[in-house]
Structure 1
């Protein structure tokens, strides 16, 4: 792949343009850039223990169990009443992907993806967690990871 940096001083300060013939390569480049630009952003979570501030990039996955959202980070499990859709909206990032009706994950924390029953996949995460990817979301995950 050939890459080139062209500086265009006529662009606004907060604009970067990326040109690619291949959509998957373009999406992967945007995901990498997103990974480095969102890593320092914090997320405020209200839980039973009070208000907790975590770095977005520390989130490994999140899942709803018994109407409670549990956010799994590198070191903690944080329970909150926040909806999964609200969390996804706050993350607003190419780094995070909803993989079932009740779960989402950080694609940069995936170590391995394995086939499972009836078209589902299992993602083995960096800190030992396993996340089931529902058939409905398999194509989105494959596209995001650049798997054909």
Structure 2
């Protein structure tokens, strides 16, 4: 349906459920912003990576470790600053100290006390705290 009242760069999506809408936005977002490059400063150098290569990230003792398809990058950036740079529906904060790329999840398993464990395509396990379980389920459409 064509709506002449929309701006040139505006698209309206109507869905029956919020889950379906979130999945559609995630797919659209994956094909647009995830191809962008991101510059991360490590201790010795500046690294340029593609956002779509990021699998997950965790912060421990004020040090952020970003796991990509091929590397493990350590930086002093905060998790919230990193998430802001990612600006994508594909990336989701899943605990106080971790985030993941929903496109890189291999499987999700139950854990203790209502938590979940996401097994990523690189074999890494990421713990999803109870507080974020509903957001992950909505994003994955489960």
Name the TM tier (shorter chain).
over 0.9
2:8 is equivalent to residue 13 of structure 1: yes
Q: Find the counterpart in structure 2 of residue 3 from structure 1.
A: none
Gap runs ≥5 in structure 1: 1-5
Asked whether the equivalents of residues 34 and 88 of structure 2 are also in contact (C-alpha less than 8 Å), the reply is: no
Per-residue CA deviations over 1:7-31 (Å, capped at 9, x if unaligned) read 4455333212111121111111111
Correspondence 1:102 to 2:87: no
The correspondence for 1:59, drawn from 38, 54, 63, is 54
Stretches of structure 2 that go unaligned for 5 or more consecutive residues are none
User: Does residue 146 of the first structure (1) align with residue 141 of the second (2)?
Assistant: yes
Paired with 1:59 and 1:123, the residues of 2 have a C-alpha distance of 15
Q: Secondary structure at the match of 2:35?
A: coil
Secondary structure of the 1:39 match is helix
Q: In structure 2, which of residues 69, 85, 92 is the aligned counterpart of residue 74 of structure 1? A: 69
Q: How many residues align structurally?
A: 142
Provide runs of 4+ in structure 1 moved above 6 Å: none
Partner of 2:23: 28
Instruction: With the length of structure 1 as denominator, give the TM-score of the two structures.
Output: 0.91
**Aligned pairs (5 A) from 1:105-144:** 105-144=100-139
**1:40 corresponds to which of 16, 30, 35:** 35
Q: Report the 3-state secondary structure (helix = DSSP H, G, I; strand = E; otherwise coil) of the residue aligned with 1:12.
A: coil
Distance 2:140 2:117 in 1: 14
Could you state the TM-score of these two structures normalised by the residue count of structure 2? Answer: 0.94
